[in-house]
Chains A and B, each alone.
Chain A
Amino acid sequence: KAGVTQTPRYLIKTRGQQVTLSCSPISGHRSVSWYQQTPGQGLQFLFEYFSETQRNKGNFPGRFSGRQFSNSRSEMNVSTLELGDSALYLCASSMDYRWGVDTEAFFGQGTRLTVV
């Protein structure tokens, strides 16, 4: 079956602009989580959506937001981009809303965002 699909793969934006990233989970998966990976901070949890509801949120400013649609596809939005937002954004999908001991998560290839 198809894996997790993230679009676009690469993106260049100007400081102050906003950006929307998309994640299509594996068919049948209802949970989508988003992560930001930077050389300085490593991999950090942004938020998790399950059945169109945000269940958990990491320690990121309100400029970072997301949503999930009825088909489980998720979008992440970053407004008023800053240079420090340049990162690889990864999403993961899983069956359950929580990464429990029996829940495996599958990652997409990521979207590389560069803010100039």
Chain B
Amino acid sequence: SQELEQSPQSLIVQEGKNLTINCTSSKTLYGLYWYKQKYGEGLIFLMMLQKGGEEKSHEKITAKLDEKKQQSSLHITASQPSHAGIYLCGADGTGNQFYFGTGTSLTVIP
């Protein structure tokens, strides 16, 4: 089965600092999704990457899928308290199932 490992598991940063979250797959990725979850709530879609080398940005969040399509990174520039939450990567896997990463908990200190 597909495995998605995220690092770091948790992150505490000072407001204004930049940070990066990584998502590494055990298999080739054919579509990689990033979601944000506020504690105990539903997931909010951030962005989707399809092609190796593809990079997308939305406001202060940039995500990239590497050329070999087995790793993605999510970068937040000048973090704000509103960025706090759990970030999850997700991807299609074998058996038409969808797999989520292990999650990264982000805390932004004002």
Q: Which residues of A contact B (CB under 8 A)?
A: 4, 6, 33, 35, 42-45, 48, 55-56, 58, 88, 90, 92, 98-101, 104-110, 112
Contacts and interface: CB of A to CB of B under 8 A. Distances in A.
B44 A107 contact: yes
Contacts of A106: 45
A56 B96 contact: yes
A107 B43 contact: yes
B31 A100 contact: yes
Interface in B52-98: 88, 92, 95-98
Q: Which A-B residue pairs are the 9 nearest by beta carbons?
A: A107-B42, A43-B100, A107-B43, A101-B31, A56-B96, A109-B42, A101-B50, A45-B97, A99-B98
Contacts of A6: 42
Contacts, number: 55
B91 to A, nearest CB: 9
Summarize A's interface: helix, strand, loop or mixed.
strand
A58 B50 CA distance: 24
Interface of B: 30-31, 33, 35, 40-45, 48, 50, 88, 92, 95-103
B31 A99 contact: yes
12 contacts: A33-B98, A42-B100, A43-B100, A45-B97, A55-B96, A56-B95, A90-B42, A90-B43, A98-B92, A100-B92, A109-B41, A110-B42
B89 to A, nearest CB: 11
A6 B74 CA distance: 29
Contacts of B44: 107
B2 to A, nearest CB: 11
A4 B95 CA distance: 25
